[in-house]
A and B are shown apart, each in its own frame.
Chain A
Amino acid sequence: MNYTLHFGAVWASFDHLLSGLAIGLALAVAAVAVGTVIGLLSAFASVSRSRLLRGISGTYVLLIRNIPLLVLVLLVYFALPATGIRLDKYESFIGSLALYAGAYLTEVFRAGLLSVPKGIVEAGRAIGLTRLQTNLYVVAPVMLRNSLPSLGNTFIGMFKDSSIAAAIAIPELTFEARKINVDTFRVVETWTVASGLYIAACFTIAALLRMLERRFPKF
Chain B
Amino acid sequence: MNQPLEVLEQATRHRYHVPARADLLPDEEPVRLLSPDGTLTQDERYPLDLDDHDLQQLYRYMVLGRRLDDESIKLQRQGQLAVYTSCLGQEGAQVGSAYALRRDDWIFPSYREHAVARVRDVDPVRLLHHSRGTWVSAHDPREWRFASQAVSIGTQIIQAAGLATAAQFAEDDIVVMTYFGDGATSEGVTHEGMNWASVFQAPIVFFCQNNGWAISVPVSRQLAAPTIAHRGIAYGMPGIRVDGNDVLASYAVSRVAVDRARSGGGPTLIEALTYRMEAHSTADDPTRYRGGDELAFWSAQDPLERYQLFLSARGLLDDAFVAEVAQESADMCARVRSEIYDAPHGDPAELFEHVYEGVPAHLAAQRAQLQGEIAAARGDAS
The answer to whether A and B belong to the same complex is: no
Residues of chain B having any CB pair with chain A under 8 Å: none
**A→B interface (CB under 8 Å):** none
